[in-house]
Amino acid sequence: MALFHPVCLIDNDVDGKLFVKESALQILQKIEQPVVVVAVVGLYRTGKSYLMNRLAGKQTGFELGSTIESKTKGIWMWCVPHPTKAGTTLVLLDTEGLGDVDKGDSKHDTKIFCLAVLLSSTLVNNSQGTIDNKAIEELQYVTELTEYIKVKSSDDDEDDTEFVKFFPSFIWVVRDFTLEQKIKGKSVTEDQYLEFALKLKSGNSRPVKEFNLPRECIRNYFPSRKCFTFPFPTTSEKVSRLESLDSADLSFEFLEVTDRFCKFIFDKSEIKKLKDGYIVTGRVLCQLVKTYVDTISSGQVPFLENAVLTVSVIENESAVKEGLQVYQTGMEKLKDSFPLELRDVCAEHERLSSIATQTFMGRSFKDSEGTYTKCLEEEMNKLFDGYLHLNEEASKKRCENLLTTLSAPMTEKLKQGFYAIAGGYVLFSQDLEDIVKKYKTQANKGVKAEDTLEEFLKQKSVDSNAILQADKKLTETERKIMGERLLHPTTEHDG
């Protein structure tokens, strides 16, 4: 499922309130593949959209701005096939630049930042220049995360480490990096440079605490960190139209870091997972987006466990449906060969139930109480009862048809009064016995073979009785006539 262009996922309404775009949700809803979600955050006008386009392997896509006004609004999404992980979709989230003073809601940026953290498996923090105190202070939103995101609704005193189970890995990207990468005269790697910038000061004074707080937050919430320093991309005249430039116009070093950055994301960025390792597919991400945006935009604090619970309900309901579908499709096929013996229907029921349960398990999520497993079982048993009934009906019909065919000559004879003679009962009984014999030799009559025969014989016993009575009467009369003849042997001859 590839989208040829980015779409708006989360937008601002006229009052600046965030809302989800239904059309984008429909795209996510259809993605059954696991997703790697890379979100970029950072100050406005710092080349975030440009970088995301590079990740999509495209020159253009997310719109760039060429003025000083911030361009991207809300959160935009681009779903592309993962370039190196087959069967996986790469979801790129480009966010509205932070720090633009024109915004109405002072908490707007925090909300965007929180959503990026909540939805991504890799968070790219984009900044310009150097990682100095100013750059870290610009990431003040991390210090508010505990206020804006909670793990459980019950626990007041939360352990920061709980976040780690839900939070993305973290990449700090520095654009237009001009400094020499040296600490105390010694060359260092980009990662060492980042770790140096995040070093804590010792002491308990207020300035020290203020200095340490964002650093502590970054270190605690994002234990997996990586840094890339990008040099200035091109000459200053060309930089404002970067997307229309050939790679020949870009500096070699810039291209090298861009390639390394993209390769790192493709190789190391993990599939988005929920707590306990549950893999997020496009469909699950769709539920997460809905849940989180609804909560955040209504001014409430999203509880990660609640979101997981909401997703689990939706996913488990779908898992039951999917399992049931597998079962039903199989049983519908079996139905074509009804009537079957009970053991054959049962065997197929068992086989399909087990496949359906496996299908369910593949998708179910946190069904520790077994509520949905039970629900699937109950629904399958209900369907099974229906199929058993259909199998009985099919058997009954086949047996009835068979008996109608086998007894057709007898029916004709009855009509013509063939048995209405002395000794007719014996003839009728022989014919009936014949029918039963033939009936019993026929295969594939199904579960209702005995019952239907019994019912047939019950019906025939009415005829049988009538014939017996008539037979008795006729025999009696005949005997009487015979007796008369014996008594008066001449009468008849003479008469």
Interface residue list for Mg ion (CB under 5 A): 48-49, 71-72
Residues 197-226 that bind ligand GTP (CB under 6 A): none
CB of 367 to ligand GTP, least distance (A): 42
Strand order in the sheet with 89-95: 18-20, 7-12, 75-81, 89-95, 35-42, 122-128, 169-175, 225-229
In degrees, rounded to 5, the angle at the alpha carbon of residue 44 between the alpha carbons of residues 82 and 139 is 85
Q: Which residue of 65, 83, 129, 330 would you call a contact of ligand GTP, by CB under 6 A?
A: 65
In the bound state with Mg ion, the residue whose beta carbon lies nearer, of 119 and 280, is: 119
Work out whether 175 is an interface residue with ligand GTP (CB under 6 A): yes
Give dist(CA 124, CA 285) in Å, integer. 19
Instruction: Identify the sign of the CA torsion 317, 313, 161, 96.
Output: positive
Closest separation between CB of residue 258 and ligand GTP, Å? 9
Asked if 242 is part of the footprint of ligand GTP (rule: CB under 6 A), the reply reads yes
- Does position 125 interact with ligand GTP (CB under 6 A)? The reply is no
Answer yes or no: are the C-beta atoms of 89 and 5 closer than 8 Å: no
72 binds ligand GTP (CB under 6 A): yes
Mask of contacts with ligand GTP, 78-97, x by CB under 6 A? -------------------x
Closest distance between ligand GTP and the C-beta of residue 239, in Å?
5
- 291's contact among Mg ion, ligand GTP, none, with CB below 5 to 8 A by partner kind, is none
Q: Report what 46 binds from ligand GTP, Mg ion, none; CB cut-off 5-8 Å by kind.
A: ligand GTP
247 touches ligand GTP by CB under 6 A: no
- 300-319 b/e with 16+ CB inside 10 Å = b? eebbbbbbbebbbebbbebb
Smallest distance from the beta carbon of 43 to ligand GTP, in angstroms? 7
Q: Which is nearer to ligand GTP, 245 or 427 (CB)?
A: 245
Kindly state the number of chain residues that form the binding site for ligand GTP, as judged by CB under 6 A. 21
Rounded Cα distance, 380 and 386, in Å: 10
**How many Å apart are CA 116 and CA 173, to the nearest integer?**
16
Cis peptide before 83 (omega within 30 of 0): no
Provide the b/e sequence for 387-419 (b: ≥16 CB within 10 Å).
beebbbebbbebbeebbeebbeebeebbeeebb
Tokens, residue 45: 């006008």
Determine which residue in the list 25, 44, 89, 445 makes contact with ligand GTP, applying CB under 6 A. 44
Note whether 108 binds ligand GTP by CB under 6 A. no
Residues that bind ligand GTP (CB under 6 A): 44-50, 64-66, 70-72, 97, 175-176, 230, 233, 239-240, 242
